Amino acid sequence: EAQVTQNPRYLITVTGKKLTVTCSQNMNHEYMSWYRQDPGLGLRQIYYSMNVEVTDKGDVPEGYKVSRKEKRNFPLILESPSPNQTSLYFCASSLAQGGGYEQYFGPGTRLTVT
Amino acid sequence: DAKTTQPPSMDCAEGRAANLPCNHSTISGNEYVYWYRQIHSQGPQYIIHGLKNNETNEMASLIITEDRKSSTLILPHATLRDTAVYYCIVRGLNTGNQFYFGTGTSLTVIP
């Protein structure tokens, strides 16, 4: 089944404790991205990657890192999480960049930083 | 990318057609119109997209006005499972692949 998977689905952590949220897709998509969703603000893009070893900042990249060492995986790293990073996170992928390509979203990771 | 304007909420009776409007008056010629929906806090789900012509698939129909400044998503026979937030997005062919979701329209299908 074609899908985007994220792990963990739920995470409660403390301020400053490094964490990684994994994202994997099995559709051989070139493009992957991370979003966060907060009440009243909709989905905002954090980082995106147009291919292996190619990443770029989205609208809200501060406090996050990403890497794209292989096509299927695009982990989101929070080196020193803070309470304002408490949010619902989604990973997405599409065949390529640009208009005309739909994005497939993962199920989401609900992160709480205390 | 052009920004979109959607009503914050709508109701629709079960079994009736749900017509969700979207205004994108600053859309440019190479920008597509996409519709996604999000049920509760699940990952957004792709519904349909189009450039100029009206489009139809198994889920919905997309009607784009001739001047492309607005569009309507039509769910022909709404069910309770169609209750969700619906996002209208416009996105160009050569952008950095950013989807601006906005806050969407919360559709409630009423029994």
pLDDT, tens digit, 9 for 90 and up, residues A27-69 = 999 999 999 999 888 889 999 999 999 999 988 999 999 999 9
Mean pLDDT on B49-75 = 95
State whether residue B97 sits within 8 Å of chain A by CB: yes
Q: What is the number of helices (H) and of strands (E) in chain B?
A: 0, 9
Chain B, 10 to 69: residues with Cβ < 8 Å from chain A are 30-32, 34, 41-46, 49, 51
Shortest Cα distance, chain B CAs vs residue A30, angstroms: 12
HSE-up of B45 (CA within 13 Å, CB side)?
14
Q: Which residues pair with A5 in a beta bridge?
A: A24
pLDDT at A11: 97
Residues of B in contact with A33 (CB under 8 A): 97
Listed residue (A84, A7, A79, A82) closest to A38, CA to CA:
A84
pLDDT, tens digit, 9 for 90 and up, residues A58-106 = 889 999 999 999 999 999 999 999 999 999 999 999 987 766 788 899 9
Residue A5 has pLDDT above 90, yes or no: yes
pLDDT band at A16 (very low <50, low <70, confident <90, very high): very high
pLDDT at B94: 60
Residue B12 has pLDDT above 80, yes or no: yes
CB-CB: which of B43, B93, B104 is closest to A90?
B43
Quick check: A8 and A91 in contact, CB under 8 A? no
Shortest Cα distance, chain A CAs vs residue B42, angstroms: 6
C-beta atoms surrounding A71 within 10 Å: 16
Q: Using CA atoms, how far apart are residues A48 and A35, in angstroms rounded to an integer?
A: 9
pLDDT at A105: 95
Q: Which positions ≥6 away from A1 have C-beta within 8 Å?
A: none
Q: Which positions ≥6 away from B92 have C-beta within 8 Å?
A: A98, A99, B1, B28, B30, B31, B32
Identify the H or E element spanning B90: strand B84-92
pLDDT at B93: 64
pLDDT at A101: 80
Q: Using CA atoms, how far apart are residues A72 and B75, in angstroms rounded to an integer?
A: 34
- Return the residue in A25, A45, A102, A111 with the most chain B beta carbons within 10 A, the one to mutate for interface testing: A102
